[in-house]
Every structure is written in C-alpha cells, then in structure tokens.
C-alpha cells in the first residue's frame, strides 16, 4: 500500500539537510552568487555529497552509494527547493544517476555517488519523459553537434550525451565547449554544449536511459516544488502577521486570509501528490500515472505560491534584494522542466483512457 | 487493559455465534451488537463500546461484513451518529447516555439538528430561538431551517437562547428536543433541485423538560462546538478508490460518448481528473495520519476541496452533454431520505453540489478557520463580542 507519510528517519534526514542549508545557503549569499562567475555553490555541494553522502542515495551500496531510495531523495529535494539551493542535485544525483543505473555503468555511478564527479544528462531540461530529444552526430567514433538547454552543465565533470546511433555516451566536460546560457532560473542555470569531435564512451541505449531519467526527474521535481511552495506560503504568512497597514496586521484582512488559506490547501494537496510519486518510484508500482499526476498538479501550485508571495509582499516582493524573485524564477522554470503540466495531463489522458477528441 | 484487535475478533466471533445473522432479526442483531460493545468500539463499556482504540473499528466492521451481518445504515442516521452521539457522550448525564445512545445507534430513533435559523447561518451564535424557564420545563419558540431528516426524526439536538441580556455566545443552552411534542411543526423546504431534502421547523410553545438539557445553562455554545467539530471531521476516515467520487460519471460519459468530445472540454476534464486524484491522495494521507495517531490539520481543507471539485466537475458534465445538458431529469417535488448524487442526471448533480459549499459551514467560513487556526493569522475584528445579544443589529 502506498505510504504517504514521512518516516522518523526521513524527518531526521530533513532536519540534517535543513541545518546544512541554513549554514551554506542563506538568501543574500545565493543572490550574490547568481551574479558571480560561479553560480553553483561548490561548498554546499561538497557538504551535501561528501559530508552527508546524499549524492549516492539512489545508488546501491555495492556500487559505493547509500542504497536508500526515492522517498529519501524526495525529502532532500523538498529542503533544496525550500532554499532554492544552487546545487546540481536533481540533475546529477537524480537524473544523470538514473540514466546510469539504466545503463549499469558501475564506474561512473561510483564517482557520482561519492560526489567526486558531477554529471549532467545532455537533454534539454524542457523535455517530458517519453518525448523526442535531440542527439549528437557520430562521425568516425567522435561526437559532433550542439545541444542546448542543458541544466547544470556548467557544473558538470561528465556529460551524458545521446547520439544518433541510439547510444548514450559519456563525454568529459573538458572535451566539450560548455557555454552558459542566460537563464530565467538563476539557481539552476542552463548551458549549451558544443561537441566538435569529442571522444565518448558508449554507456548503453539512450532511449530507455533517458526515459527513466526524465521520469524520475519529473516525479521528484514535485518534491522540490513542494519545498518551494511551502517556503513561499510560510514566509508570506510570517510577513503578513508582522506587516501593518491601516493600523492592523495585513494578515487580518479577510481578502488576504482567504488567498493564503487557499494556497495552504494547494500545498497540502501537493504534499500528497509528491509523496505518492516518490513512493511509486521507490516501489515501482503505478509509476507513470503517479508521476504524471504529480507533475500535472505541482507546477501550477508552485508558480501560484511564488506569485502570491510576490503580490502579498507587495513592494518589497518586487525587489532584487528580497529572495522571492529567486523562487518565482525557479518555480516558473520548473513548470517547464521535464514536461509542462499540459504535457503531463496528456500522459494522464493516455494512462487512464480519457482519449483526445 | 486496552482491548486489542485479537480480542475484538474473538468477541465478534462470539457475537456471530450467539446471533447468527441468517436467522436473527435485524434489530435484534443490532441490539446484541451494541450490548456486546461492538457498535463503536471506542465508546465506553455499557454504551456500545469497549474503550478500544477507534482505529480498530475496521477490524469489527470487516468481520461482520464478511459474515453478512446487517449494518445500522449509518448514512440515514448520520446526524445521530456523527453529531448527536459524541455530544451526548461528552456532556450527557448517565441517564441521558443510557436512554439515547442505544436506539440512536441501532437506527430505531433518527436524529436531526435544530441549529441553523433564517437569521443565523454562518453567524450561528446569533440565533434567536428563545427558551424560557417555567418550573421544570423550558418553553421554546422560534424557527429553524435547513434541517435534514427532520421529517423522519424522533429526536433533535437543539440550541436556543436562554439569556438575551448577555453577549451572544454566553446566552445559549443546548437541549434534546422530542420531535413528536406538540408545537413542533416540520414543513418541507423545497430546494433548487426541485426536491425537498431539507425542512423548516417551527417551534411554538414547545415544552422541553429540564432533564433534557445537555450541559449547563448558558454553556450551549461550548457544547455545540463538540457537535460542529464532529460534523467537520466526518470525512476523515473515508477511503476512496481512484475515480471514486463525482469524477466517475463524467469520465464514464467521456469514454462512452466520443461524439460529445471537444478539445476544450478535454483539457478541463483532465485538469479536474488530476485534481480529484490529488484530493483522493490527500484524504488517504489524512487517513494514514489518523491511523498513525498523528492527526493533521488537512481535514479542515478536505471539505473545501471536495465542494469545489463537485461543483466544477458536475458543471463540466452538464456542458459535455450539450443538447441533453439543456434538459433536466425530473422536477417533481420529492422527499428523499438520502442525497442521491449518482442515481440522478448531471443537471441534478450540478444544482445539488451548489449546496456543498454552504452546508456544514460555508467555504468562506472554512477559509477563515484555516487562516486563523492553521496558519495563525489574526482574527477578524469582532464588534459583537461584548454586546448583549438583544442589542445586536439584526
């Protein structure tokens, strides 16, 4: 039976991650970092991956991982979402790792699990599971072409590149030209990857690996969106209790209370949908529908939460110094990542037999 | 000693052996079940229970269902079970508990709730029905409204004003009213759907003995909170299958009637299908929290979610049906015992579900409750708190 609650161990994991992020990822620091040459936070990544071993949660112990599962990863992602942490966790420890698990590449899995290497799947972040994706040309055993919209590629040591022969190849980032793109989401930046005769090592078939990787990415992204939405709600409630206008706390006005109560209800629902997706991924039961339902629901809620936070913070919410903009940018980008809500609704239509006209 | 699942199974087997469902009269079986403490296992011994954990009721229910035992029709007697019983249990005298709980549970006596008034809906504490003391009796005059089952009920839980000179919450007293007494006049209240599911109840010089007062004089608002809180948690323990609610007939129509499909309706249907599934998961999560002994505040939101979903889905279904959506199945004035959502057409579902965001607390009031009690936002300014009821604007 689906377990929608959190275990004691999962709650302990949550508070450990939250403590770590409180030390490493305060909002002014994240904002300053987005304007620096290193938008990713190597110190936070090292603490998560090396210090706590969280990069290897999905990797079996025999391969150097923690042998945990998607439920634990989901809890980590809730906290990363709550902090809009600029670390390549979803891209490397989830999406690239799932692709490698499908290919069974033990050497690279071990390096990813230990945090010694960061990998990025060279598939555009907007691709939904099961849809077409761009591939590199294979000429004389080397890879050629340009792949754009690759999340966290700038932080990656290894790129997992689908090629036109149907294979998935490991390419050292140093053998490719990785050019940061100006991204809407400053904390999960995209990059273009240009390959001109880059050597690659064939890992396995690209199609099943990419499908599995994107499905896990989409399903667990819902937990990141939950963390983000919870931050937006909690911060807005806190602010509206303190902020006074017309000689009253603004949070006492019914028009605003109803909006926050409505948002709370959406967050409560999102928690159930996200837990359901994480549990389904962990148990392999009913996964496609659980993931499609979670993503069809999560993105609009996370965007709504961030937009409400901005509007209800009013003037201060519109500024660069207040972190709301980081959350809005992440939420809006997340609403496209691994397929839009509309794409996932189409998947639902297929899965539950509600056919198109 | 707490009674565990094994002990409940043993007692259930004993009950079934002593009163085989196949050869026992329905009412006799239900009475025997009550006397065996297997009616609501979390109630005290002697009052239909065994003081067992509430979560173990499912053990008994499953065994009895498998054995083909009659049930006590909890839907028809829902107000008694869900609202009157927990209030009587908490505030009743020993005599009251002994007198009322058994026939309430077996369904021999149906209950209704005389709370809402034409002038006191969301502001329930403003109610104006008066109860005046005359010796050992209270003489009650006033009008109640929106009363389900009043035409079937033997008893009612009633709140009335016993002191108009104090602020509104302080002057209310809680009574158990005999619906067969002279002066109780139940009239059908015909609704938007055409049927009369509810009633108006007129109370004219109804004499209620003081022995049927529940709780202290003037303490009725606090007593009523028990009733109202129980009304709102009713959904908590429910377990819905996927596509188990109002989405089922809409999805069925979509699958069976390809000629009705349009792209716009498809998008809206999918959105509502997803939202129904997510609401189901939230209800399931709440249920798991209750079983794990960590009740969450989610229950406060479930009624809001289902009210909105029922309205949107049934509204979509009417549109989906196109030309048929212009028709209605039956406007005949009827007196149904139960709300029949599934046996009627989309048009009925659409109209009836409009009540879902009003009955049992309007969605607006529930949003206030969530905002204040869950999120801790400041309460609305209260200008009526220290004013005597008789001086309030009405």
Q: How many CB atoms lie within 10 A of CB A68?
A: 22
For residue B284, the chain A residues in CB contact (below 8 A) are 2, 4, 272
Sign of CA dihedral A271, A272, A273, A277: positive
Q: How far apart are CA A45 and CA A41, in angstroms?
A: 6
Q: Which of B275, B284, B375 lies closest to A264 in CB terms? A: B375
pLDDT-based confidence at B360, cuts 50/70/90? confident
Here the tokens at position A346 are 């189409």
Q: With CB atoms and an 8 Å threshold, state whether B273 touches A348.
A: yes
Instruction: Read off the pLDDT of each residue in A27-50 and give the average, rounded to a whole number.
Output: 94
CB contact under 8 A, B243 and A352: yes
Three-state secondary-structure class, residue B355:
helix
| Residue B235 pLDDT class (50, 70, 90 cuts) | very low
The model's confidence at residue B78, banded by pLDDT at 50, 70 and 90, is: confident
pLDDT digits (tens, 9 = 90+) for B150-197: 999 999 999 999 999 999 999 999 999 999 999 999 999 999 999 998
- On chain B, the residues whose CB falls within 8 A of the CB of A275 are 281, 285
Q: Check CB contact under 8 Å for B266 and A2.
A: no
Q: Whole-structure pTM over 0.80, yes or no?
A: yes
* A268/B270 Cβ within 8 A: no
Can you give the pLDDT at residue A167? 98
Q: Which residues contact B223 (CB under 8 A, 6 or more apart)?
A: B87, B90, B91, B159, B174, B214, B215
CB B19 within 8 A of CB B29: yes
Chain A residues touching B298 at Cβ < 8 A: 268
pLDDT at B291 (0 to 100):
78
Judged by CB atoms within 8 Å, which residues 242-261 of B form the interface with A?
243, 251, 254-255, 258, 261
- Cβ proximity of B296 and A9 under 8 Å: no
Mean pLDDT of chain B: 92
Average pLDDT over residues B277-287: 93
Residues of chain A above pLDDT 70, percent: 100
Q: Give me the active site residues of B, please.
A: 231
With an 8 Å Cβ cutoff, are B380 and A3 in contact? Answer: no
| Cross-chain Cβ contact A252/B378 below 8 Å | yes
- Length reported for chain B: 394
Residues of A with CB under 8 A from a CB of B: 2-5, 237, 240-241, 248-249, 251-252, 254, 257-258, 260-262, 264-265, 268-273, 275-276, 293, 296-297, 342, 345-346, 348-349, 352-357
**Residue B237 confidence class, pLDDT cut points 50, 70, 90:** low
Chain B nearest C-alpha distance from A260 (Å):
7
Coil/strand/helix, residue B188: strand
Q: Which residues of A touch B361 (CB under 8 A)?
A: none
Tens digits of residue pLDDT in A140-184: 999 999 999 999 999 999 999 999 999 999 999 999 999 999 999
Closest-CA distance of chain A to residue B269, Å: 9
Q: Which pairing describes strands A158-162 and A119-121: parallel, antiparallel, or unpaired?
A: parallel
């Amino acid at each position: 039976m689906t377990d929608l609650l959190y275990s004691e161990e999962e709650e302990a994991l949550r508070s450990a991650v939250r403590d770590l992020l409180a030390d490493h990822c305060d909002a002014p620091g994240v904002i300053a970092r987005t304007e620096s040459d290193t938008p990713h936070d190597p110190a936070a990544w090292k603490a998560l991956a090396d210090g706590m071993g969280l990069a290897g949660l999905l990797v079996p112990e025999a391969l150097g991982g923690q042998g945990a599962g998607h439920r634990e990863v989901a809890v980590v992602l809730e906290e990363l979402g709550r902090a809009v942490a600029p670390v390549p966790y979803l891209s490397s420890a989830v999406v690239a790792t799932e692709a490698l698990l499908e290919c069974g590449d033990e050497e690279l899995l071990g390096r990813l699990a230990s945090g010694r290497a960061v990998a990025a799947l060279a598939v555009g972040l907007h691709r939904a599971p099961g849809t077409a994706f761009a591939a590199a040309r294979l000429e004389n055993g080397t890879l050629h072409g340009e792949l754009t919209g690759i999340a966290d590629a700038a932080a990656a040591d290894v790129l997992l590149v689908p090629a036109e022969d149907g294979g998935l190849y490991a390419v050292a980032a140093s053998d490719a030209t990785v050019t940061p793109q100006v991204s809407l989401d400053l904390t999960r930046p995209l990059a273009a990857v240009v390959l001109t005769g880059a050597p690659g090592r064939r890992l396995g078939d690209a199609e099943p690996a990419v499908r599995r990787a994107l499905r896990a990415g989409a399903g667990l992204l819902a937990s990141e969106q939950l963390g983000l939405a919870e931050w937006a709600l909690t911060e807005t409630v806190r602010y509206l209790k303190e902020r006074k206008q017309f000689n009253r706390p603004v949070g006492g006005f019914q028009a605003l209370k109803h909006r926050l109560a409505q948002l709370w209800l959406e967050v409560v629902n999102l928690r159930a949908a996200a837990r359901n997706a994480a549990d389904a991924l962990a148990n392999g039961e009913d996964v496609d529908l659980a993931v499609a339902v979670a993503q069809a629901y999560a993105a609009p809620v996370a965007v709504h939460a961030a937009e409400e936070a901005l509007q209800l913070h009013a003037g201060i919410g519109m500024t660069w110094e207040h972190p709301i903009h980081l959350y809005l940018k992440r939420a809006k980008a997340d609403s496209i990542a691994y397929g839009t809500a509309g794409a996932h609704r189409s998947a639902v239509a297929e899965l539950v037999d509600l056919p198109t006209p | 000693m707490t009674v565990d699942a094994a002990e409940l199974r043993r007692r259930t087997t004993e009950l079934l052996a002593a009163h085989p469902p196949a050869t026992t009269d329905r009412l006799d079986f239900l009475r025997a079940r009550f006397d065996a403490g297997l009616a609501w296992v979390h109630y005290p011994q002697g009052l239909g229970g065994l003081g067992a954990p509430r979560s173990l009721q499912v053990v008994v229910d499953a065994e009895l269902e498998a054995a083909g035992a009659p049930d006590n029709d909890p839907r028809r007697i829902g107000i008694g079970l869900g609202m009157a019983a927990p209030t009587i249990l908490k505030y009743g005298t020993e005599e009251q508990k002994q007198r009322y709980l058994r026939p309430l549970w077996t369904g021999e006596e149906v209950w209704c709730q005389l709370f809402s008034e034409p002038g006191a809906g969301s502001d329930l504490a403003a109610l104006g029905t008066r109860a005046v003391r005359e010796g050992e009796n209270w003489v009650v005059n006033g009008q109640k409204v929106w009363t389900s089952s009043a035409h079937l009920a033997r008893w009612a839980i009633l709140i009335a004003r016993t002191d108009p000179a104090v602020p509104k919450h302080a002057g209310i007293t809680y009574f158990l009213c005999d619906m067969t007494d002279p002066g109780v006049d139940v009239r059908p209240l015909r609704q938007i759907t055409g049927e009369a599911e509810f009633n108006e109840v007129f109370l004219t010089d109804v004499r209620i003995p003081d022995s049927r007062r529940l709780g202290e004089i003037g303490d009725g608002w606090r007593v009523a909170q028990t009733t109202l809180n129980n009304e709102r948690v009713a959904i908590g323990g429910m377990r819905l299958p996927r596509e188990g609610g109002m989405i089922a007939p809409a999805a069925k129509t979509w699958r069976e009637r390809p000629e009705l499909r349009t792209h716009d309706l498809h998008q809206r249907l999918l959105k509502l299908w997803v939202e129904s599934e997510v609401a189901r998961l939230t209800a399931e999560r709440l249920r798991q929290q209750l079983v794990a002994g960590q009740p969450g505040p989610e229950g406060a939101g479930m009624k809001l979610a289902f009210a909105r979903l029922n309205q949107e889905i049934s509204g979509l279904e009417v549109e989906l049906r196109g030309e048929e959506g212009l028709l209605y199945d039956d406007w005949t004035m009827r007196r149904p015992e139960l709300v029949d959502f599934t046996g009627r057409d989309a048009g009925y579902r659409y109209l009836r579900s409009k009540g879902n965001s009003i009955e049992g607390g309007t969605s607006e009031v529930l949003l206030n409750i969530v905002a204040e009690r869950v999120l801790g936002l400041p309460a609305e300014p209260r200008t009526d708190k220290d004013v005597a009821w008789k001086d309030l604007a009405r």
